[in-house]
Structure 1
Amino acid sequence: MTNPRIPVTEDELHAYIDNELPAERRGDVEAWLAAHPDDAERVRSWLAMADVLHARYDSVADEAVPKRLEIEQLERQPRKLVYGAIAATLVAFIAGGGVGWIAHGAAAAPSPVQSFTLDAMDAHRLYVVEVRHPVEVPGNERAHLQAWLTKRCGWEVRAPELAAAGLKLVGGRLLPGPTGPASFLMYESASGERFTVYASKAQAETTQMRYAAQGNEGALFWADRGVGYVVSGGSDRNRLTQIAQAVYDQMEKNGG
């Protein structure tokens, strides 16, 4: 059964266009697009742009690389990745929304969203390895933790209930964020698996989740009502998405 409320990442939209999306996710993406006309329009514009690129560059895509451009026998990427990189770069310029997106490995300065996500992942790596002092306020003081972080951060900070996902609240702490304070919550499973929820004021405004991976860790970013959220955890993207979805739903239900 498809669910139009399951957030879809930008990478998944590109994979949907390229017919590389896992079959079990296509229904969710199509339901999401049916319920989100702005994203549906973006997808239509990307498809139209891809058609233009094919018409313009198909004739040269298979040409041999000139000798003067060969460097240490570098292999050309598959054509669809080249199109993806060009299209994504053009979309970033055309959209002009102030939130950059690095196109399929293209080298560029980190966008605000990427910098925000990296800050959250740095905090995750720093504290998840702590045994005795992973947090400042323990999870059994949930009410005090929420009130303290809300007062210090300037928005309502709530520690989501994640028992249904097999996680209990370890606790939280106050951290410096990109432009002010950040709240940091940690959860743990019975097996010792840890996830963190980092939140701070953010320039971006998108409820669409954006996935990032670094080493053996993954993270999902979204922003709503001027606050950015990053759920960080292990490399199991399905598990990470399950946790992020639960956090997202509770934040939305409680108004941020």
Structure 2
Amino acid sequence: MTDPKIPITEDELHAYVDGELPTERRGDVEAWLATHPEDAERVQSWRAVADALHARYDAVANEPVPPRLELERLQRPPRKWLYGAIAASFAAFAMGGATGWIAHDVTASPSAFQAFTGDALEAHRLYVVEVRHPVEVPGDEKAHLQQWLTRRCGRTVHAPELESSGLKLVGGRLLPGPSGPASFLMYESASGERFTIYATRTTTDATQMRYTREGTNGALSWADRGVGYVVIGGNDRERLTEVARAVYDQAERSGG
């Protein structure tokens, strides 16, 4: 066996959730989790999200590639869907730090996530408390908002429908991002609970979600097809994951 005194790494926790951890290290990880409740809670949340992803996407992952997509498949590196359990960063994630949700074959460096996640959290703190001017374009001008942000950001910006989560679009803003313009959308529940969705170009191209907690705010961050996303809300991890999953699903369907 390996030395149980060696601290368990985040990669090992993910491997444990995914069933990829070497047998000789499993006992050490389980002993670690028994005495580190925060890590045990994170592992439990990752497993819950992984189970949900398996239930939702396994059938799709096993489908044959349509002939019309063969050329694209040959031109692009394969995308592995490895389920580690934010949520984001959706769930997802190192509670109080950062870790992966959907894939572990990630080429993104932590600094890439930290850059746009930090900007997103700063914007959230600044605007979520505003009463009269939380956004530039109000939610009742959704079509104009999407067109404006799409034109200014140079990519398709889609304001997801979150009514099923009890959230209504307040509106949005254009913000500077680490490597270009960023879109910033705000949603609000009937009780005044606010969530924001920040998205910007990023040099990373990997589907991964990481969770970050800062004060009373929780954030789930991921990157896909050159766009980094951050969904921010309160510290209710389950609620944040629900919203982030809805955003992720709709971004996948809309292609942006």
Give the TM-score, by structure 2 length: 0.65
Contact 2:106 2:207 in 1 (8 A): no
- Aligned counterpart, 2:50: 29
Contact 2:106 2:206 in 1 (8 A): no
Distance 1:215 1:24 in 2: 20
After superposition, the C-alpha distances for 1:6-39 in whole angstroms (9 at most, x for unaligned) are xxx9797267364535657636536758958946
- Aligned counterpart, 1:70: none
Shift of 1:209: 1.1
Higher RCO (CA 8 Å, separation ≥ 6 residues): 2
Structure 2 residue runs without a partner (length 5+): 1-9, 22-28, 31-39, 62-78, 86-98, 100-104
Shift of 1:129: 0.2
- Aligned counterpart, 2:192: 192
- Aligned counterpart, 2:170: 170
Distance 1:189 1:118 in 2: 24
Contact 1:210 1:220 in 2 (8 A): yes
Matched, 1:120 2:120: yes
Distance 2:169 2:13 in 1: 30
- Aligned counterpart, 2:14: 13
After superposition, the C-alpha distances for 1:136-168 in whole angstroms (9 at most, x for unaligned) are 000000000000000000000010000000000
Distance 2:202 2:235 in 1: 25
Contact 1:10 1:208 in 2 (8 A): no
Contact 1:220 1:232 in 2 (8 A): yes
Q: How does 1:1-256 map to 2 (within 5 A)?
A: 13=14, 16=17, 18-19=29-30, 20=40, 26=47, 28-29=49-50, 38=80, 97-100=107-110, 111-256=111-256
- Aligned counterpart, 1:106: none
Could you say if the C-alpha distance between residues 96 and 251 of structure 1 is closer, same or farther in structure 2, counting changes exceeding 3 Å?
closer
Cα RMSD of the aligned pairs, angstroms, is 3.1
- Aligned counterpart, 1:91: none
After superposition, the C-alpha distances for 1:150-194 in whole angstroms (9 at most, x for unaligned) are 000000001000000000000001000111100000000000000
After superposition, the C-alpha distances for 1:62-96 in whole angstroms (9 at most, x for unaligned) are xxxxxxxxxxxxxxxxxxxxxxxxxx9xxxxxx89
Distance 1:11 1:242 in 2: 26
Contact 2:50 2:84 in 1 (8 A): no
Could you say if the C-alpha distance between residues 97 and 174 of structure 1 is closer, same or farther in structure 2, counting changes exceeding 3 Å?
same
Structure 1 residue runs without a partner (length 5+): 1-8, 44-87, 89-94, 101-110
User: Sequence identity, in percent?
Assistant: 57
- Aligned counterpart, 2:6: none
List, as ranges, runs of 4+ consecutive aligned residues in structure 1 with deviation greater than 6 Å.
9-12
Shift of 1:211: 0.7
Contact 1:10 1:209 in 2 (8 A): no
Distance 2:49 2:132 in 1: 41
Contact 1:150 1:157 in 2 (8 A): yes
Give the TM-score, by structure 1 length: 0.65
Distance 2:12 2:114 in 1: 14
